[in-house]
């Protein structure tokens, strides 16, 4: 019985840990792409707010542009983005 209970708990916890999304949806473009961002946590009380990094996902939630750039803008062409990375 303990073995069955352990297997049940693990089967509930492992998918929730593995398949959780680590980004926040910011803005949906009209061409089917969505701007997402990730903000690292603040490590101490004296530190200023960390900068967000941006990326792009498509309608299938597949990452098109990795979430590592400071600014992403839409160009006039479908599927082409302007990436600015001022580090």
Edge to edge, the sheet with strand 63-69 lists: 24-28, 34-38, 53-57, 63-69
Total number of domains in the chain:
1
Q: Is residue 9 a part of any domain in this protein? A: no
pLDDT tens series, the chain, 87 aa = 667 667 766 565 555 544 556 788 888 887 788 889 887 776 666 667 677 888 888 888 888 888 888 888 888 887 788 888 865
Q: Is residue 5 a part of any domain in this protein? A: no
**Token pair of 7, please?**
């297997």
Q: What is the span of the domain harbouring residue 76?
A: 21-84
Q: Is residue 29 a part of any domain in this protein? A: yes
Find all residues with CB under 8 Å of 85, minimum gap 6, and list them: 69, 70, 71
Q: Is residue 2 a part of any domain in this protein? A: no
Model's pTM, two decimal places? 0.62
Q: Is residue 8 a part of any domain in this protein? A: no
Q: Is residue 11 a part of any domain in this protein? A: no
**Token pair of 19, please?**
């398949």
Q: What rounded mean pLDDT belongs to the chain? A: 76
Q: Is residue 32 a part of any domain in this protein? A: yes
Q: Is residue 34 a part of any domain in this protein? A: yes
């Amino acid at each position: 019985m303990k073995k069955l209970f352990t297997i049940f708990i693990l089967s509930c916890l492992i998918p929730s840990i593995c398949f959780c999304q680590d980004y926040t949806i910011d803005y949906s473009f009209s061409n089917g792409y969505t701007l997402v961002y990730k903000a690292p946590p603040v490590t101490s009380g004296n530190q200023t707010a960390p900068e967000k990094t941006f990326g792009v996902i498509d309608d299938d939630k597949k990452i098109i542009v990795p979430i590592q750039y400071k600014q992403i803008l839409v160009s006039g062409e479908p599927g082409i983005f302007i990436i600015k990375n001022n580090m």
